[in-house]
Amino acid sequence: MKIMVIGAGGLLGGRIVEHEVQMGHNVFAAVRNAEQVEYLRSLNANVVHLNLENLDGVENKLNNVDLIVYAAGLNAKESELDPQKAISLRGTGTKRLLEAAIKCRVKYFIYISSAHVYSNTLIGSFNENSPLLNQSPYAISHQAGERVVLQSAKDGSIEGLVVRISNGFGCPLNRDVNCWGLLVNDLCRQVLLTGSMTIKGDGTDMRSFIPISEICHAIEFLIKNMPFGTDSRRVRVLNLGGGQSLSTYEMAKLIKKRFKYLMEINPKINISCSGQLNKSIYHKSYIYESKLINDLGYVSRNRVVEEVDRLINFCRDNFGIDNNIEK
């Protein structure tokens, strides 16, 4: 299958490219700056330049593409700094890309969205039918992208699917990939740079951590099995979470344990906000339901430890003391 990954220069997009090449697909890695991603070419991916702010002539790049995976756009922090651009990229950019894809008879379109469309504070239980209440620029931009995909799918113009992912983390393909604001990635790098970890907040925030490797595994399942449902009743939205939720403090403890095992380092865990950890809320306040994708036949591999280990080793090789780089 010929697959185009939009946003291949990012953490998730790059790892999807890597995974789909390994699965034997003909993968086109679409990036904004094609001169800075030699690591993608080393995977035997076809690197193409694509600017979501100027899609003139994009049809020429979509010829014979069977499926598009859309994993582009600004992260949460960048969206706060430039809300208009965030919404434009995921709203207008996705709309124009879809129009071009439909003209080129692309069969399938997978839009990678976020659990944060549901709420700014993920407390309680969330499934695919939960209301989209978050009004942050990041969430609104994803909601805009979702709407154009779901409308095109409803019209029958293309087989579209929205996948709302919980708290992804994992090893990038290159140290310059913009991924070090993610909690797990940040904590692992902190240990190599400072010898300790500092958690923002009081450590009780609950998250449904999912390894990037698991997301890639799920995307491959979707690629192989789309579409889902009958012509009159398609499955259009799927949650993808990490199973049991953990507090940020519990995740830090797991990272600490793996550093001790892999590198014989025993980093201290610091809490940035004063106060006692409220252990009574652990495992009770946040449930991110992924039952629907499981009912479709997907089987999770639950490889959190493996992804943490890969990330630790990456940080050791790229940020460790012996690498002669600026600390």
124-163 residue pLDDT tens: 999 999 999 999 999 999 999 999 999 999 999 999 999 9
- Listed residue (75, 59, 86) closest to 4, CA to CA: 59
Q: Of the given ranges (150-154, 303-307, 319-323), which has the lowest mean pLDDT?
A: 319-323
CA gap 85, 94 in Å, rounded: 13
Q: What is the pLDDT of residue 244?
A: 81
Domain-wise residue ranges, the chain: 2-169+209-240, 183-208+244-282+303-323
- Return mean pLDDT, the chain: 92
Fold designation for 183-208+244-282+303-323: UDP-galactose 4-epimerase; domain 1 (3.90.25)
Instruction: Give domain 2-169+209-240's CATH architecture.
Output: 3-Layer(aba) Sandwich (3.40)
Q: What is the pLDDT of residue 34?
A: 78
Q: What is the pLDDT of residue 281?
A: 46
For residue 189, CA distances in Å to 47, 196, 280 come to 29, 9, 29
pTM exceeds 0.85 for this model: yes
Is the bond preceding residue 227 a cis peptide, omega within 30 degrees? yes
Q: What is the pLDDT of residue 326?
A: 39
CA gap 239, 222 in Å, rounded: 12
In the structure, what pLDDT confidence band is assigned to residue 17 with cuts at 50, 70 and 90?
very high
233-273 residue pLDDT tens: 899 999 999 888 899 999 999 999 999 999 999 999 999 87
In the structure, what pLDDT confidence band is assigned to residue 230 with cuts at 50, 70 and 90?
confident
56-115 residue pLDDT tens: 889 999 989 999 999 999 999 999 999 999 999 999 999 999 999 999 999 999 999 999
Residue 282 pLDDT > 70: no
Q: Which residues are bridge partners to 161 per DSSP?
A: 110
Q: Where are the alpha helices (DSSP H) in 124-242?
A: 137-155, 183-194, 212-225
Greater model confidence, 322 or 131: 131
Q: What is the pLDDT of residue 280?
A: 46
Percent of the chain with pLDDT over 90: 82
Cα Rg of the chain, angstroms: 20
Q: What is the pLDDT of residue 113?
A: 98
Burial of 254 (0-12, 13-18, 19+ CB in 10 A): middle
On whether the CB atoms of residues 68 and 105 are closer than 8 A, the answer is: no
